[in-house]
Structure 1
Amino acid sequence: MADRGEGTVPELARAVWPAVPRAALVLVPVGSIEQHGPHLPLTTDTVVARAVTRRVAAHPALAAPAPPLVAPAIAYGASGEHAGFPGTVSVGHEALRAVLTETVRSLALWADRVVFVNGHGGNVATLATTVPVLRDEGHDVAWTLCAVPGGDAHAGRTETSLMLHLAPGEVRTADAVAGDTRPLAEIMADLTTRGVLALSPSGVLGDPAGASADEGARIMGQLVETIARRVAGGAVSPHGRLVEPEGGPA
């Protein structure tokens, strides 16, 4: 599936080794294989993370001295909260930690900098504990999250709009239903201990009603601008997450 909206970007998977520059910046999409309600595909987080990564790599702010390389996506994540739904494949936090760690250590043999572009909230805890350890080892690595202020939690209007923009043929609009629409902060404790199925039999946390490709394009543009600015700025929190550069937007 071709991503929409990005120009030609250097993809590591399609390169031959003599063409791979040393001292490169490598962007690594991180997603998941997990239920996204009855209307979105299991690969939604990976599709979004990969599309954001490609567009960030093509952003003018990152053109010099050379555009970033886009690595193949890490498609399996920590999705234990979705384990009650057929189709979900979770490798758990320990396995994900090992993959992130060895990915960085291997890339560091020829690349100068690595940024994980994460599309799944369940991966955050692993990234936030793993990346600081890698930074203590001396690696220039950070992570960022594909999230927009005000977006709903899972398979609701935000993700449905993004998928209508990126892959409309994979959105089963007629099957979309509302789920638990409470704010994520309000349900997080239950979500962590009981899982999504206990809160929403449909698997949706939010309401897809009103989603549109136009809204998805706007959200995507916002994500790309924010992440490109943070990658270019290079400011990192104690948890290894990219943050706004000094003097940037709040």
Structure 2
Amino acid sequence: MSLSNAVWPDLTRGGTVLVPVGSTEQHGPHLPLDTDTTIARAVADELGPLLGARVAPAVPYGASGEHQAFAGTISIGTEALTSVLVELARSLTVWAAQVVFVNGHGGNLDALEAAVTLLRAEGRHVSWLPCATPGGDLHAGRSETSLMLRLDPTRVRLNLAEAGNTGSLRELLPRLRAGGVAAVSANGVLGDPVGASAAEGEQLLRRMVSDAYDRVRTQVVVV
């Protein structure tokens, strides 16, 4: 059930709430700024019925400082995101038994770890899981382009898709840390979207949901 569409008498105390966590940041010349949020929301929407969980509205802003050189990026940073996640979970666990953050942006990792550590120290049942694509490229490449062709194809400007820096994270990390994405990719792409397809996006989505289910099912509290 989507909490956005619910009225309070629909809801009972207990159970699990999934909170998609994304970002608003550049995704090359061909993908929308809310790509990470769209993917996180899709995974949560698919996962919810499998777990009997409710899905909260997505958090659309994350820690995206590495993309700040590109127009359109809106980053609230790690400290602010940590506070947002903590307060969301504190509020939700007044009536829900468990909160699971479904994360679509790698830059949110530190905030998620900090928030979950603090909340667990308070005795709250909170965890997080990634929308992971093992073996996928780093940013706005074939993986994310395929996922968006599956989820929202009308917003993919495939005619503008072009390769960016295809180096590995290990190769790029020193320059990424020093100067952000702009230091290693003029177009904001880390990978190559050529060959992306909705069919591949469907396969990736299925894998994401399956992996998320395997990660979270042992942690869900049924009340």
For 1:37 and 1:21, the matched residues in 2 are separated by: 43
Post-superposition shift, 1:133? 1.2
Post-superposition shift, 1:20? 1.2
Post-superposition shift, 1:134? 0.8
Match status 1:94 vs 2:85: no
Cα RMSD between the aligned structures?
1.0
1:123 to 108, 111, 118: 108
Post-superposition shift, 1:189? 2.5
* Structure 1 alignment gaps of length 5 or more: 1-9, 236-250
Match status 1:52 vs 2:43: yes
For 2:176 and 2:110, the matched residues in 1 are separated by: 14
1:6: which partner in 2? none
1:178 to 155, 159, 163: 163
2:66: which partner in 1? 81
- Alignment identity in percent? 55
Match status 1:72 vs 2:57: yes
Post-superposition shift, 1:186? 2.2
TM-score normalised to the size of structure 1? 0.86
Q: How does 1:201-220 map onto structure 2 within 5 Å?
A: 201-220=186-205
For 1:94 and 1:53, the matched residues in 2 are separated by: 24
Structure 1 residue ranges (4+ consecutive) displaced by more than 3 angstroms after TM superposition: none
1:30: which partner in 2? 21
Please give the per-residue CA displacement for 1:72-107, whole angstroms capped at 9, x wherever unaligned: 000000100000000000011111011001001101
1:163: which partner in 2? 148
Match status 1:12 vs 2:3: yes
1:5: which partner in 2? none
Match status 1:43 vs 2:43: no
For 2:139 and 2:161, the matched residues in 1 are separated by: 12
For 1:114 and 1:130, the matched residues in 2 are separated by: 12
Kindly indicate whether the alpha-carbon contact (under 8 Å) linking 1:152 and 1:184 is maintained by their aligned counterparts in 2.
no
Please give the per-residue CA displacement for 1:124-170, whole angstroms capped at 9, x wherever unaligned: 11111221111111010000111121011000000000001111111
SS of equivalent to 1:58: helix
SS of equivalent to 1:27: strand
SS of equivalent to 2:117: helix
Post-superposition shift, 1:58? 2.0
Post-superposition shift, 1:195? 0.4
For 2:188 and 2:174, the matched residues in 1 are separated by: 17
For 1:17 and 1:192, the matched residues in 2 are separated by: 45
TM-score normalised to the size of structure 2? 0.96
Match status 1:112 vs 2:109: no
Which one-letter code corresponds to 1:56 in the other structure? L
Which one-letter code corresponds to 2:48 in the other structure? A
For 1:111 and 1:29, the matched residues in 2 are separated by: 16
SS of equivalent to 1:233: coil
For 1:192 and 1:141, the matched residues in 2 are separated by: 29
For 1:107 and 1:45, the matched residues in 2 are separated by: 23
1:21: which partner in 2? 12
1:3: which partner in 2? none
